[in-house]
Amino acid sequence: MPDILDKIFCEKKVELDTVKCKLPLPDVKILIANNNYKIRDAKTFLKQNELSSIIAEIKPRTPFKGTLLKKNDPVDIAKTYADNGASALSILTESRYFGGSLLTLEKAREYVDIPLLRKDFIFDEYQVYEARAFGADFFLLIATWLDKNQLADLLALGRELGLSALIETHNENDMEKAFEVGASIIGINNRDLTSGKTDLSIARRLIPMALQIPDNLLVCESGIRSRSDIEEFQNLGAHSFLIGESLMTAENIGNKLREFTGDRKISTTN
C-alpha cells in the first residue's frame, strides 16, 4: 500500500498533465519574460537577520492535522509574517492536501519584500518554470522522493532561472544526495512525510552531518514549538527555521513569530 508521500506525488503527476494542457510551457516562459521581477537572494536574507532567522509558512491545512487556517486570508497572513520579523515566507501551493495555491504566491509577491519559497511536490522541470513565473525566489526539492539525477537536474534548472533550491532531507541517505548534487541550502525535516510522525531527534542526529560542508545554509523544519527549541538547534548549528503549524494555529500569529525570532516586542497584528 503506498504511503501518503507516494500518493501525493502520484496524484500530482496526473494533475500536472492537466495543468500543462491549460497553460503550456511556452506560455509559462512568456509569463516569466513579462513579469521580470527581481529575484531576492534567499541565502542572503536568511543569514542577515540579527534575530533568529524564521521562514514562516502559509499552510491552510495538512493531511495529518486537517484545517489550520479557517478565517484569515493567506495574503493577510503573509503581511503579518513580514511585519513581525520573518526572514522569508514558505507558501504551500499544493491544493488537494494542503489547500494551497499559486495565486497566493503571486499575490504575496505584491505585498512583501522578503524571499518567497514555493513549497510543493516538485519533480518536473515545468514546475520550476512555474515557480519562477508565479513569483518564487526559491523552491523546495524533497530528497526522500527524488533520486540524485532528478535533484541535480532540477537544481541546475533553477539556477539557470535565477532560483535557488531548498533541498529537504530526513535521513543520512537524503543528506548524501544533497551533498552530491551541490546543495547550498539544506533542510532537515523532523517530520516523516510518509507517516506524518514528527521527531526532533532527527535534527539532533543530522545537524552534525550537515555541518560537514561549512558554506551550506542549514534549515531546521517541523516540530518547532517554542523559543527554547530554536535556541537548542541554533546552538547545534542550525541557521534558520521553517515553521508552519505553530504559527498558523497561534492565538496571535505576530506575537508567536516574534517569540520565535527572539524579539520581545508585542505585535498588535495577528
* Residue 20 is among the residues annotated as catalytic for this protein: no
CATH number of 4-261: 3.20.20.70
Rounded Cα gap, residues 168 and 189, in angstroms: 6
Judge contact between 218 and 207, C-beta under 8 A: yes
* For range 64-83, the mean pLDDT: 85
pLDDT above 90 for 264: no
* Residue 222 is among the residues annotated as catalytic for this protein: yes
Q: What is the pLDDT of residue 34?
A: 92
Q: What is the pLDDT of residue 71?
A: 63
Closest CA to 123 of 104, 101, 145: 145
Choose, from 94, 221, 245, 259, the residue flagged as catalytic.
221
pTM of the model: 0.94
Q: What is the pLDDT of residue 1?
A: 37
pLDDT above 80 for 72: no
Top pLDDT among 140 and 266 is at 140
* For range 69-90, the mean pLDDT: 90
* Residue 189 is among the residues annotated as catalytic for this protein: yes
Judge contact between 140 and 221, C-beta under 8 A: no
* Residue 59 is among the residues annotated as catalytic for this protein: yes
Cell numbers for 28:
509559462
The label of the residue with cell 512568456 reads 30
Choose, from 12, 43, 59, 256, the residue flagged as catalytic.
59
Choose, from 107, 119, 177, 256, the residue flagged as catalytic.
119
| pLDDT tens string 199-250 | 999 999 999 999 988 889 999 999 999 999 999 999 999 999 999 999 998 9
* Residue 168 is among the residues annotated as catalytic for this protein: yes
Confidence of residue 267 (pLDDT cuts 50, 70, 90): low
- The DSSP code for 96 is T
* Residue 29 is among the residues annotated as catalytic for this protein: no
Dihedral (CA of 190, 192, 197, 202) sign: negative
Average pLDDT of the chain?
92
Q: What is the pLDDT of residue 62?
A: 84
Q: Where are the domains of the chain?
A: 4-261
| pLDDT tens string 127-185 | 999 999 999 999 999 999 999 999 999 999 999 999 999 999 999 999 999 999 999 99
Q: Is 189 strand, coil or helix?
A: strand
Choose, from 43, 53, 57, 106, the residue flagged as catalytic.
57
